[in-house]
Amino acid sequence: MTVEIVRMLPLYEAKMIHHYDHRWATYESDGSTRDVTLAEKQDPNFVVLPRYWVGESVVRDRLDERWDRDWLLGWRRIARSTDERTFISSIVPDAAFGDSVFLMLPADQPELGAALQAVLASLALDFAARQKIGGTNASFFLIEQLPLPSPEMLCDHAPFTVDTTWADWISPRARALTRDFESDRAKIRSELDAAVFHLYGFGRDDAAYVMETFPILKRKDEAAHGEYRTKRLILETYDAMAEAIAAGTPYTSPFDGE
């Protein structure tokens, strides 16, 4: 008797993803859900448990001739401008998705996927999303209106570096956040947010204003750290990058020394 082995992929739901995190929540064997602990995230062998599974062949058929990578970039369909963050997206390794997660397929230049993920997770882009999403659905026609940088912009020179493109500077930091939960994630995220503010051409006052439009983020920071730490870290990094641009010298990043 021949036994056919069928590979199954986890069916991801919106609650299971967050920025730079495809292990945000997991199902338990009794059907309940819970947040993944930090200790579990620090274990590279830990995987989340979905509620449902889908045959790999079904996923491949749906993506046939449109996508051939072993990862997908998706965002939560439910999005509210009154939440801590509005546009929640993540890169997820090989998986199936229900209708609570919508997908974008950067098929022309998939090597820019990590940089695109970072832009989508930035406060600058989230600010724009809040102006577009009036209800609770981040529908395709709304996301298509977001001011995403073109591939040409991402492949242009980042002015606070010597000869590095935006994508080449952003991508390793985005990848580190996706897999590393033991480093100083707040510092890395502040670098990415500051860089994206520069990428979009935000002045310092504009960047400071944008961060004040996230009151829940501010309130949680003040409760946890006694200050709006996210804003301070981003503006400190923004200023260091601005000084590097003005002086024509490269910005010195703690990440580069790791």
Sketch the domain layout of the chain as residue ranges.
Answer: 8-249
Average pLDDT over residues 37-52: 95
Number of residues written out for the chain = 258
Backbone angles phi, psi at 94, to 5 degrees: 5, 105
Confidence of residue 16 (pLDDT cuts 50, 70, 90): very high
Q: What is the predicted pLDDT for the residue at 4? A: 79
What percentage of residues in the chain have a pLDDT greater than 70? 99
pLDDT, greater one: 171 or 108: 171
**What is the tens place of the pLDDT at every residue in 134-174?**
889 999 999 999 999 999 999 999 999 999 999 999 999 99
257 by DSSP, 3-state: which? helix
Nearest CA to 175 out of 35, 22, 14, 2 is that of 22
**What is the tens place of the pLDDT at every residue in 80-93?**
988 999 999 999 99
Q: What is the predicted pLDDT for the residue at 1? A: 72
How far are the Cα atoms of 79, 85, 136, 160, 214 from residue 132, in angstroms, in the given order?
11, 14, 11, 31, 15
From the number of C-beta atoms within 10 Å of its C-beta (0-12, 13-18, 19+), residue 33 rates as: middle
Amino acid at 108: D
Residue 49 has pLDDT above 60, yes or no: yes
- CB atoms under 10 Å from CB of 173, counted, come to 22
What's the rounded Cα separation, in Å, for the pair 207 and 213? 10
Q: How many helices (H) and strands (E) does the chain have?
A: 11, 8
Handedness of CA 185, 118, 22, 231 (dihedral sign): positive
Q: What is the predicted pLDDT for the residue at 255? A: 82
Using only C-alpha atoms, the chain has a radius of gyration, in whole angstroms, of: 19
